Amino acid sequence: MAKIEPGMEAMLDMYFYETNSLLEQLDEILLRTEQANAFESDDIKEIFRIMHTIKGSSAMMGFDNLSVLAHKAEDMFFVIRENPDVITDVSFVYDLVFQVSDSYKAQIEAIQNNVGGEYELTDFDDLIDKLMKGRDTLLGETSGAAPAPASNEKPKTTVKVYFEEGCQMENLRAFLLINTIRDDCSFLEFTPNDVETNSESSKIIMEQGFLITFVPIDDTDSILKQVESALNVQAYEVGETGDSSKPAAAPVPAAELPPEPETVKETIPEVAAPAPAPTPAPAPTPTAPTAIEKAQAAVAQAQASSGAQKQSLISVNLAKLDALHDIVGEIITTESMVISNPDLEGLELESFNKAARELRKLTSELQDTVMSIRMVPLAGVFQKMNRIVRDMRKKLGKEVDFVIEGEDTEVDKSIVDSLQDPLMHLVRNCMDHGIEEHVEDRINAGKPEKGTLKLIAQNASGEVIITVSDDGQGIDPEKIMNKARRQGILTKPESEYTEKEIQNLILLPGFSTNETVTEFSGRGVGMDVVKANIEKCGGVIIVDSTKGEGTSFIIKIPLTMAIIDGMEVTCGDLVFTVPISTIKQSFKAESSQMLRDTGGNEMIMIRGVCYPILRMHEKFGIETEVTNLEDGILLLVEADNKAVCLFADKLIGEQQVVVKPFPKYLSRYNIKDEGLSGCTIMGDGSISLIVDTNTLIG
Amino acid sequence: MTNDVIKEAVAKQQSGDRKLIADNSVLGKAMTFNIGDQVYGIEIQYVKEIIGVQRITKVPHVPSYIKGIINVRSKVVPIIDIRTRFGKPEIPYTNRTCIISLELGDVSVGIIVDSVADVADIHTGEISATPDNHAVNTNDFIQYMIRSDDTTKLILDVAKLLDEQDI
């Protein structure tokens, strides 16, 4: 058991955020390269950097086990990095690194759940053992493979050196640099080549950099080190000439040295404004740096690198965005109050109106911008599905192509967070139940051997539609019916169920057709949780399946929960907002359309279909003079594949409204279960109640 | 004010010790208001602001003493009619009728009162415990009383008022 040191708590958030995003990055690289079945040297460097940063920050936070684990993983990649050709069989590397990544996530979650309390430090001995073995295997391969490239003629290496801006006399500095490395090179060439005599060349160096081509006597790294530590060198770029297949060894400092800023910049010398601290590279400190120093250096490196690469990104506390969003909502309401102020009525206000229009334009722009800040792409969630498919593919032995489309579709941050679990369930279900167990079954059905699992997101008129589909065996309505009968979840005679309704039975609580519970699914808690989660963020889920051809789960979610398009209707002295997305039609009723069923319930016939009528004034207990159906207005609303006609007094019009939850004091009364989801402040400052079509109908 | 402070103040007066009885230090301030001819008070730290009566939007499916919700500078605040809450007959709102906006933690409500009186100091010597007589002590909402001169002010227990489930 361990506890977080008191002084460290403030940094925990940052640590979690940073480590989690690094791990996600790691997963992404692994998945990408696994498909290509080869590590690019850039990828290896990146993995190395991630491990190094995690090692450093974990050590700083006092999570020694994590630090050691990262260190061992780093060791393994050290071998790979130094000898990129040695990897003959990479699959075990992937398995190992995925295990490392999982262990990390598990441990971090454990810590996160117990902030301030005690938490268990997992022992990673097994994994570390495996990593060591992995490294040894790789080393074994190295000793066999390494001599081959070494016996080749040494390749020429080209380095482009950039000096600090404004350091002056670039040509002489370049000359000094050449003199320093001359003794260690068997071949040396540089452009411009008249640096010693021609002071004009400093201009060229300033603009285009100083180009050195050399063949080292010993190794390239030692030369690069010299270049790196030369005075006033700001950045350098390593290129390659010659015909050797051996890629340039990257001059990243050895793992145990504090990383110098240059290592970061060398990969991105084009960045115009480099991260702060462009001091000349300090020569490696002779004394061994302490763990803390190392850790800080690693953090600094991470910050510098992320600062340089993703300069345009900052991370902001979500609470601040929420506050900003609230204020903008208030500004818009207040603006309407000012512009349509009753005091102004009947006045000729030409310039006022002009200014007001300008203001309205700006505030709506402001609102759009604030909304867009909260929008994040679905890519993060989708990438995680990649991982799940990968794992299940291995465990279940099913050959599946996983296709992702539209991952850059953007959705409100809060919605993205609540989408992850449902999507995970759906993807698992498709893998487990959807795709056929045996390849023969697929071949017999005339389908390609390899199954296809698609995850598609698209934008459609204020909604995002996410489809999870497979080309597997589809849903067998008979099986579903049998199961439902046994579970006793049928609510009406069997013959009345349409195929669509039968398919949607699988979304009910306690329904699971899989006879045996597997690791991935079959406990019957999956689908109804999926449904509940999606409904929680204002979305709906529909099952669409054809037996033998496949199953699609279609999820429709709003772009944001905070602003909806609403239709304002009055009922008595109250104003209600009905979400436009649920309204199919609004119309005046005629007496010829009215019906009553045997229970005396009012119904209305529209184009041959009968819909029940829900009188809002009765439902919400409002006094109104409009009680005759022909005098008021009817709204045909649909949700959950059910439809009713709402009866209200009068239509006011369409309006975009900012959804506000009911005050906390009222949460003890179940207003929400009675079909009202919240309220909104309208332009004139009065309050309108937002109808929740789902619960109203259900 | 915590119940301990009140008990201590009451104990001082009943102690018979002349020195303690003479202690008349100010413990706090209370905003006082009228309901009918009774004066009530609310400790000042709970009072956020006083607003005039405005259009109240009814909310369905809530007890009758919750009159609805209003918009106070873009915040939606529920409104409790104290008269109805205490089982007194409703009277039409006049231009003296006020809404006192209260805040306790992150819960805020407005209460409708007949009229606002003033802000009074609470002295140790004036505090007395509520009698067990339920005719006076409406639904236990009174935390303690202040007797000064010839009036008795009933100080409301805001925590109970905001937290009470239906009785």
Q: What is the mean pLDDT of residues A422-444?
A: 84
In A632-674, which ranges are continuous DSSP H helix?
Answer: none
For chain A, what is the mean pLDDT?
Answer: 75
Say if B18 is an interface residue toward chain A (CB within 8 Å): no
Element (H, E) at B76: strand B75-81
> Which of A333, A663, A674 shows the shortest C-beta gap to B60?
A674
| The pLDDT of residue A260 is above 50 | no
CA A217 to chain centre: 48
Q: Are B42 and B132 in contact (CB under 8 A)?
A: no
pTM score, whole prediction = 0.50
Strand-strand pairing, B127-128 and B115-123? unpaired
Q: Which two tokens stand for residue B149?
A: 């001169």
Q: What is the ipTM of this complex?
A: 0.84
CB B101 within 8 A of CB B54: no
- Domain with residue A622: its CATH number is 2.40.50.180
Please report, for the domain that includes residue A362, its CATH number. Answer: 1.10.287
CATH of the domain at A45: 1.20.120.160
Q: What is the CATH number of the domain that holds A235?
A: 3.30.70.1110
pLDDT band of A95, cuts 50, 70, 90:
confident
Peptide bond into A192 cis (omega under 30): yes
Chain A residues within 8 A of B110 when measuring between CB atoms: none
In a shared domain, residues A623 and A548: no
> Minimal Cα distance from B77: which residue of A?
A663
Q: What pLDDT does residue A263 have?
A: 39
Is A674 in the B-facing interface, judged by CB distances under 8 Å?
A: yes
Pair A198, A276 in one domain? yes
Residue A22: both structure tokens together: 């690094």
Indicate if A100 and A50 belong to the same structural domain: yes
CB contact under 8 A, B71 and A662: no
Is A610 in the same domain as A550? Answer: no
In which domain, by residue range, is A169 found? Answer: 151-309
Among A374, A401, A417, the domain boundary falls at A374
Q: Which of A357, A374, A391 is the last residue of a domain?
A: A374
pLDDT in tens, B74-106: 788 999 998 888 888 888 888 889 999 999 888
Calpha distance A260→A249 (Å, rounded) = 17
Q: Is the pLDDT of residue A6 over 70?
A: no
Shared domain check, A409 and A340: no
* Element at A189 (helix H, strand E): strand A185-191
CB A674 to CB B61 under 8 A? Answer: yes
Please name each of the domains of chain B with its CATH number. 3-163 (2.40.50.180)
What CATH number has the domain bearing residue A447?
A: 3.30.565.10
- The answer to whether the CB atoms of B60 and A666 lie below 8 A apart is no
Phi, psi of A362 (to 5 degrees): -65, -45
- Determine the pLDDT at residue A280: 42
| Spatial distance between the Cα atoms of A539 and B142, rounded to a whole number of angstroms | 46
Which of A253, A274, A309 corresponds to the end of one domain?
A: A309
| CA-based radius of gyration for chain B | 17
Residue A278 reports pLDDT greater than 60: no
Probe site for chain A from B56, B64, B74, B81 (most A CB atoms < 10 A):
B74
The reply to whether residue A689 touches residue B57, judged by beta carbons under 8 angstroms, is: yes
User: At residue A620, what is the residue type?
Assistant: F
Residues A611 and A508 in one domain: no
Orientation angle between helical segments A91-113 and A125-145, nearest 10 degrees: 150
Question: Based on the domain organization, do A539 and A623 belong to the same domain?
Answer: no
Q: Is pLDDT of A208 > 50?
A: yes
User: Are A322 and A399 in the same domain?
Assistant: no
Question: Which of A333, A665, A668 is nearest residue B109 as measured by Cβ atoms?
Answer: A665
For residue B108, the chain A residue with the least C-alpha distance is A665
Q: Does residue A212 register a pLDDT over 60?
A: yes
pLDDT at A309 over 60: no
Same domain, A383 and A518: yes
Same domain, A327 and A305: no
B58·A668 Cβ contact <8 A:
no
Same domain, A609 and A467: no
pLDDT confidence bin for A262, thresholds 50/70/90: very low
Pair A242, A338 in one domain: no
The two tokens of residue A633 are: 């207005």
CA–CA dist A682, A689 (Å, integer): 10
Q: Which two tokens stand for residue A515?
A: 């006879």
Rounded distance, CA A580 to CA A586, Å? 11
- How confident is the model over A540-594, as pLDDT tens digits? 788 888 888 888 999 888 766 667 778 999 999 899 999 888 898 898 888 888 8
What's the domain count of chain A? 5
- Give the model's pLDDT for residue A300: 53
Q: Any CB–CB contact under 8 A between A687 and chain B?
A: yes
**Residue A310 above 60 pLDDT?**
no
- Residue B134: what residue type? H
Which residues of chain B register pLDDT less than 50? 137, 166-167
- Taking only the tens place, the pLDDT of each residue in A399-411 is 888 888 988 888 8
